[in-house]
Amino acid sequence: MTKQASYRTIPVLDQRGDSLKIPATTGARTTGLAKDGLGRPLRDLRISVTDRCNFRCSYCMPKEVFDKDYAYLPHSALLSFEEITRIAQQFVALGVQKIRLTGGEPLLRKNLELLIQQLAALRTPEGAPLDITLTTNGSLLARKAHALKAAGLQRVTVSLDGLDDAVFKKMNDVDFPVADVLAGIQAAQEAGLGPIKVNMVVKRGTNDHEILPMARHFRGSGVVLRFIEYMDVGATNGWRMDEVVPSADVIALLRSEMPLVALEACAPGETAQRWGYADAQGQYDPGLGEVGVISSVTQAFCADCNRARLSTEGQLYLCLFASQGYDLRSLVRKPAETVSDQSLMDAISAIWQGRSDRYSLLRAAMPPDAQATGARRVEMSYIGG
């Protein structure tokens, strides 16, 4: 049996047992914004609320691994909404301004609106509300959009890998139709969840012929379409470099039909490079909107990465490509007199200050035969994208 085959038969749950040791704190009270070992601030917290998904996309949760016998986390292992909010509150005190709910498929988590209400009530040290957003496959969005907005959700990002039904069904591997996702996007627009972003993971030979049809469909719709390079996340998706379509090629293809002009980043640490559709005079036309590319393979953005990721069972990961996390659940489940909010914040600050993760930058220096091997990394379905 090859090493790759062995990855595909070992349950991901086996790699979730060991945690990194939480560094000792100095005892000094943590105040102000946290910066890591490379001077990067903490601004963005991504929270996975479930390890379950109703899709079986080959690049994320392939069916041969996540089958009917796969051992998902028991409900008792998941962080409660109150535990998530308590942890999030300490992150906000350290500088987090944006919280993204992910999964798995986050809309599978029962009563998710209650968590959104709790998070929407948090404020930064300056008294500003947070940017609360959610990433979804769109399958349940049509029925939930208005309730999500009412609870305090501001925006959604929808994963959609093509408009051709055959292609999309092949990629989600559960025969789910494109029309239902598009209905979810429309419902989100009508509910005021915007601006809406649509993420398309581009995999050579699978859906790269859908790039132009997707751009044509969303151009002028008010939806921001983003093309994501197929990434080597986890160990179950069989990633190969020759299946990556570089973002530069995507932009070149788009510009062969649609004039584009480069736009400035929305905020420091933004992962997407923005391109606006141009009018007949070659100027950006806001009415036509924009597209973006996320070049996590060919153009690493580690240098200003400001994101932390909290798994559904309370493991804190400092990089999408990490292999181990820090167990915050064990802290929040201790009595309050043992672990106060201040000591929880001190622990998170100490973890962030010790961060030096920059996998994508290091990958660029690896020989090709080493890029898809090495330490087995946590799955994207476990900590969110």
CATH code, 36: 3.20.20.70
Tell me the two tokens of residue 340.
Answer: 């106060």
Hey, what amino acid is at 309? R
Token pair 């996340």: residue: 233
**Host domain of residue 282:** 3-383
pLDDT at 27 over 80: no
Please tell me the number of Cα atoms within 13 Å of 307 on its side-chain side: 24
pTM, two decimal places: 0.88
Query: Confidence class of residue 30 from pLDDT cuts 50, 70 and 90?
Result: low
> 381 falls in which pLDDT band (50, 70, 90)?
low
Domain count, the chain: 1
pLDDT one-digit tens code per residue, 123-176: 999 999 999 999 999 999 999 999 999 999 999 999 999 999 998 998 899 999
Between 219 and 373, name the one with better pLDDT: 219
Dump pLDDT digits (tens) for 265-317. 887 777 889 999 999 999 999 999 999 999 888 887 788 899 999 999 999 99
303: helix, strand or coil:
helix
Q: CA 317 → CA 29, 34, 48, 176, 229, distances in Å? A: 23, 16, 11, 31, 21
- What local confidence, expressed as pLDDT, does residue 297 receive? 82
Classify the C-alpha dihedral 201-245-241-320 as positive or negative: negative
